[in-house]
Amino acid sequence: MYRFLRKILFLFAPERIHDLVIGILKMPFVSKIFLLIYRYEHPALHREVIGLSFQSPVGLAAGFDKNADLLSQWSDLGFGFIEVGTVTPKSQPGNPKPRIFRLVEDEALINRMGFNNEGAEVVRDHLRKRNGKLLIAGNIGKNKITPNEKAVSDYEACFETLYDFVDFFVVNVSSPNTPNLRQLQEKEPLKKLLQRLRQLNQQKPAEKPVLLKIAPDLSDSQLDDIIEIVMELGIDGVVATNTTIRRDNLCANPQQLDSIGEGGLSGKPLNKRSTEIIRYLHQKSGGSFPIIGVGGIHSVEDAMEKFRAGASLIELYT
């Protein structure tokens, strides 16, 4: 059925279809239909990870439900958890449209959304209405206009605003679509940021798990730094990976890619690299911390490959 619908959906711009799907999922009767068709529970799916009990190891990656507009609907579709966001302290429109592009032959997307969201306070108000077993992560970032030397304050603000309303946090320093954001993945600025969040967390009545989301474009030496920082600071885990800026081995012709321009590539072309990073982190760390695997999962075998590489949980999007 999806293959038939996809032909129709692909006649329209990706972001328009995204907004349409969000609107459809908000309809109560649609949610009930999905609950009957897609919701599946079994003890074999349960996972105890980062001190939390997941009903399913399959989650929805950040970027789809940026503003926590849908909550119980994701559980009805069978997800065990979701990441809302990326959330920034203040609302921002993101980059100019069009900003999502399909590479149909590659089963991939290029996006340069730019952290478009309604801001931490609006997301917090939406999260007040949550119910059910679905676990929710707050994926947090900085506003575009905030210089890197003041980025820590943006992450602090998001952490404080969302703390009472999410189950865990994902620190996003790896999107390619906010200028200079990936510079925060370098050892010293990253350590400073995570140390501050760790301090804030320890001041709370009960600490929330904090994970770090990394890019697939890091070198082995940079991954070694990530492992060192995560283990030294007691960060609860890593989300591997975000989208890539590379354009290797694509079916799309160079002219098409040039016309699209900058943005993060997701989908099938990311599958191999994200799995390589999961395996590297898992092996080099001796399995010392959990990894959420995301990138190019299009089948059960893709998912199992991530688990075999060392992922404790996985996320879907493209």
Which sequence positions are flagged as catalytic? Answer: 175
Separation CA 141–CA 89 (nearest Å): 8
Separation CA 129–CA 179 (nearest Å): 33
Indicate the SS3 state at residue 230.
helix
Separation CA 139–CA 120 (nearest Å): 10
Q: What is the CA radius of gyration of the chain?
A: 18
Q: Are 199 and 253 in contact (CB under 8 A)?
A: no
Q: Is the dihedral of CA 9, 12, 18, 24 positive or negative?
A: negative
Q: Are 174 and 185 in contact (CB under 8 A)?
A: yes
Alpha-helical runs (H) found in 69-219? 72-76, 120-127, 151-162, 187-202
Cα 198 to chain centroid, rounded: 20
Nearest-CA neighbor of 87 among 55, 124, 40? 124
Separation CA 95–CA 116 (nearest Å): 8
Alpha-helical runs (H) found in 66-186? 72-76, 120-127, 151-162
Separation CA 317–CA 175 (nearest Å): 15
